[in-house]
Amino acid sequence: KQEVTQIPAALSVPEGENLVLNCSFTDSAIYNLQWFRQDPGKGLTSLLLIQSSQREQTSGRLNASLDKSSGRSTLYIAASQPGDSATYLCAVGSGNTPLVFGKGTRLSVIA
Amino acid sequence: EAGVVQSPRYKIIEKKQPVAFWCNPISGHNTLYWYRQNLGQGPELLIRYENEEAVDDSQLPKDRFSAERLKGVDSTLKIQPAELGDSAVYLCASSLNAASAKNIQYFGAGTRLSVL
């Protein structure tokens, strides 16, 4: 059974700092890995999707990497801003099986 | 274009009462998902529809939960009777093609259920 772990559970950084969020998964037979953002009281917004054949995806200040063999992904946020404060969730997709989510990392960027 | 729309946003009920949630997916999205998210946890799938057919409902507690997606568009999720442990956020999502490795799910804002 696929299990997804996110470390750290919470993170507080000063504005402008670069940061890395970590995600690990137990079964490397995946279709894709997605990073989502969830603001308090809101649904999830897809940030980046990495297919199993890819190693990284970039969108603006965000860069996500995937190492299938080691079961790891990282989300790199450059020059963090207070507006980046949210919970970031990692989810692993494996064909027609349901997405398996981690518990998320709660990020606070302090102005 | 409107995203995934859910209603109500909040619902407070007493245990043993029935409750229903409604979801309108993005136009043209064949796949619709219902998730439950407990506090401090990631979402967990309850049921997935391909058009009007439920193709994965293995995690749906069928003794009290039911869902339908008439005409392959809107969907409702019902709980009857509700229990204290059902308190959670119920999220609806939709996507174009669940079989694709590029499949992105778009989520609604969710319904926060409190069972007293």
Average pLDDT over residues B82-89: 96
| Token digits of residue B114 | 């409190």
Chain B: residues touching A (Cβ < 8 Å) = 4, 6, 40-45, 48, 55-56, 59, 91, 93, 98-99, 101-110, 112
- Chain B residue numbers with beta carbons less than 8 Å from the beta carbon of A46 are 104-106
- Chain A residue numbers with beta carbons less than 8 Å from the beta carbon of B91 are 43-44
Q: What is the pLDDT of residues A18-47, one digit of tens each?
A: 999 999 999 998 989 999 999 988 889 999
pLDDT > 90? residue B101: no
Beta strands in chain A (DSSP E): 4-7, 10-14, 19-25, 32-38, 44-51, 56-59, 62-67, 72-77, 86-94, 97-101, 105-110
Spatial distance between the Cα atoms of A1 and A21, rounded to a whole number of angstroms: 23
Spatial distance between the Cα atoms of B67 and B48, rounded to a whole number of angstroms: 10
pLDDT > 90? residue A94: no
Give pLDDT, residue B1: 63
Q: Distance between alpha carbon B21 and the CA centroid of its chain, in Å? A: 7
